[in-house]
């Protein structure tokens, strides 16, 4: 995390989700000129400019990690690579607003997750525990748009912890 990211997080502002392959910190901010090439190239149509800079918006679809956004970025603010998923630390998180957590059977997100990362377990009082397995989730964001209660959001997870978890289940 560079100084700018650190202070942004400390100030409590929501961190922007940049496209996969985005250069860290200043390397991104100094290179991106807001040309919109990544916006136009995105195969999922999920990149838009906010304050002149690209952000990924999972409101309509998830990211396929196709790397097109990095391929078209002439200024190398985003760089396509074969390891986009490995360097992507965003993971899904399900809030208490989830219908199943309140005893209403929904499970819509389950079918949207090709990784089978969302798990449901019966809980007391007819409710259900709903959790995202962080070591299985790849952070594609496909589940976000599927939720009728807007109960799924993306959060940054510690890359080191994810690696350890993956090793533990391997
Ligand atoms: S293509 Fe590169 S320089 Fe252009 S808006 Fe996207 S990240 Fe910025
Ligand atoms: S990797 Fe592909 S789907 Fe994901 S944001 Fe970039 S262009 Fe869009
Ligand atoms: S972000 Fe993608 S992999 Fe993770 S739980 Fe949602 S749909 Fe599954």
Share of the chain above pLDDT 70, in %: 85
**CATH number, domain 90-169, options 3.40.50.2000, 3.30.70.20, 3.10.580.10, 3.20.20.140:** 3.30.70.20
Band the pLDDT of 162: cuts 50, 70, 90: low
Q: How far apart are CA 102 and CA 126, in angstroms?
A: 8
Give the pLDDT confidence of 19-35 residue by residue, as tens digits: 999 999 999 999 999 99
Q: Name the residue at shortest CA distance from atom 3 of ligand 1.
A: 32
**Is domain 3-71 annotated with CATH 3.30.70?**
yes
Phi, psi of 53 (to 5 degrees): -125, 150
Residue 99 DSSP code: S
Of 4-8, 92-96, 97-101, 114-118, where does mean pLDDT reach its minimum? 4-8
d(CA 163, CA 157): 11
Rounded to the nearest angstrom, the distance between the alpha carbon of 67 and the centre of ligand 1 is 13
Instruction: Give the list of residues 6+ apart from residue 104 with CB closer than 8 angstroms, or none.
Output: none
Which ligand has the shortest distance to the CA of 155?
Answer: 3
Ligand 3 geometric centre to CA of 62 (Å): 9
Residue range 56-76: average pLDDT? Answer: 97
For ligand 3, residues with CB inside 6 Å are 62, 92, 112-113, 115, 117-118, 132, 137-143
What is the domain partition of the chain in residue ranges? Answer: 3-71, 90-169
pLDDT score for 23 = 94
Residue 74 pLDDT greater than 80, yes or no: yes
89 C-beta neighbours (distance < 10 Å), count: 14
pLDDT at 7 over 50: no
Cα(98)–Cα(71) distance, integer angstroms: 37
Nearest-CA residue for atom 8 of ligand 2 = 42
Question: Do the first three CATH levels of 3-71 and 90-169 match, i.e. the same topology?
Answer: yes
Cβ contacts of residue 72 below 8 Å, gap of 6+? Answer: 37, 38, 40, 41
Predicted confidence (pLDDT) per residue in 99-150, tens digit: 998 888 999 999 999 999 999 998 888 788 999 999 999 999 999 999 999 9
């Amino acid at each position: 995390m560079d100084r700018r990211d650190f202070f942004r997080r400390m100030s409590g502002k929501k961190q922007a989700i940049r496209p996969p392959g985005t250069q860290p910190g200043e390397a991104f901010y100094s290179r991106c000129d807001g040309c919109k090439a990544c916006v136009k190239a995105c195969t999922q149509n999920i990149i838009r400019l906010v304050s002149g800079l690209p952000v990924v918006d999972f409101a309509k679809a998830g990211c396929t990690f196709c790397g097109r956004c990095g391929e078209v970025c002439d200024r190398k603010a985003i760089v396509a690579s074969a390891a986009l998923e490995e360097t992507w630390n965003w993971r899904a998180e399900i809030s208490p607003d989830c219908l199943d957590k309140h005893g209403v059977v929904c499970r819509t997100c389950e079918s949207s997750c090709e990784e089978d990362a969302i798990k449901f377990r019966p809980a007391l009082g007819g409710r259900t525990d709903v959790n995202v397995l962080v070591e299985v989730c790849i952070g594609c964001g496909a589940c976000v748009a599927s939720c009728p209660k807007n109960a799924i959001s993306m959060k940054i997870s510690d890359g080191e912890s994810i690696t350890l978890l993956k090793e533990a289940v391997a």
